[in-house]
Amino acid sequence: MSDNALFDLTGKVAAVIGGGAGIGEAVAVGAARQGAQVVVLDANEKGAAAVAARIGGATASAPLDIRDGAAVRGAFERIAKERGRLDIVVCTPSINVRKPILQYADEEFERVVAVNLKGSFNVLQAAGRIMTAQRGGSIVIFSSIRSQVVEPGQSVYAMTKAGILQLVRTAAAEFGASGVRVNAVGPGVVETPLTAPIKANADWYNAYANKNALKRWARADEMVGPTLFLVSDAASYVTGTILYADGGWTAIDGRFTPPGM
């Protein structure tokens, strides 16, 4: 196998959840460029359809709310039936309510947990059933640097992102004997439509940029390489781990540069 073939996804069937915008859109486009047959899934049906139309070819789209376990199962089963198999599942969606713990409302807690944690579980379970039966596949769920480092106002979000990492590890342990790999990507701060309000605040934007070694935010397309590495044959012996694509944020967290250095 050539080095280039390690990253070739030709013939693979990939479902990209959250593919209607942001990181998910970039991953869907990237997977298609590597030869995958991509199905773009998103709660925003119009957004998913627009991305699928832009990619063209055999790309399809469908609406999907990952909070609905039955809908997730149905979507994956339809893909497997229509395409013959399901080789790759990438799940990017999450939400955040930035509030101190003492101000959090029950509804807000339940809303964040329903999308980030229950939704990720639904995806892992539904994809795992198909992939373990077909004896192969790769799942990537998006976690975050918040699985490791926190700040005020990030309690429930950080909890769910740490929970995703433990779900990924457990799924890797349970699915591995069937040839199914499960991993996570841990982004730092990424320029997406969801982070636009933060980007618009110059002080906040610069503070986050200065928290990482590269002194800048990531672009959504910079999450494509780490994701496609994990789903490709280049990562054939990688499972149960998280790949931080954070510009060095977690490496230098709490850094102090001594005088004269």
> Residues with catalytic annotation?
157
Say if residue 207's pLDDT is above 80.
yes
Cα dihedral 168, 172, 174, 176 in deg (nearest 10): 160
Q: How confident is the model at residue 2 (pLDDT cuts 50, 70, 90)?
A: low
- Strand locations in the chain (E): 13-17, 37-42, 60-63, 88-91, 137-142, 180-187, 190-191, 218-219, 242-245
Q: Give the mean pLDDT of the chain.
A: 95
Provide the phi-psi class of 163: left if phi over 0, else alpha when psi is between -120 and 50, else beta. alpha
pLDDT at 3: 62
Give the Cα separation of 248 and 35 in Å (integer): 30
Q: How confident is the model at residue 195 (pLDDT cuts 50, 70, 90)?
A: confident
For the whole prediction, is pTM greater than 0.85? yes
Q: What domains, with CATH codes, occur in the chain?
A: 4-245 (3.40.50.720)
Q: How confident is the model at residue 13 (pLDDT cuts 50, 70, 90)?
A: very high
Instruction: Return the minimum-mean-pLDDT range out of 6-20, 92-106, 130-144, 191-205.
Output: 191-205
Could you tell me what percent of the chain has a pLDDT over 70? Answer: 98
Q: How confident is the model at residue 258 (pLDDT cuts 50, 70, 90)?
A: low
Per-residue pLDDT, averaged over 76-88, amounts to: 98
Per-residue pLDDT, averaged over 208-222, amounts to: 95
pLDDT at 259: 73
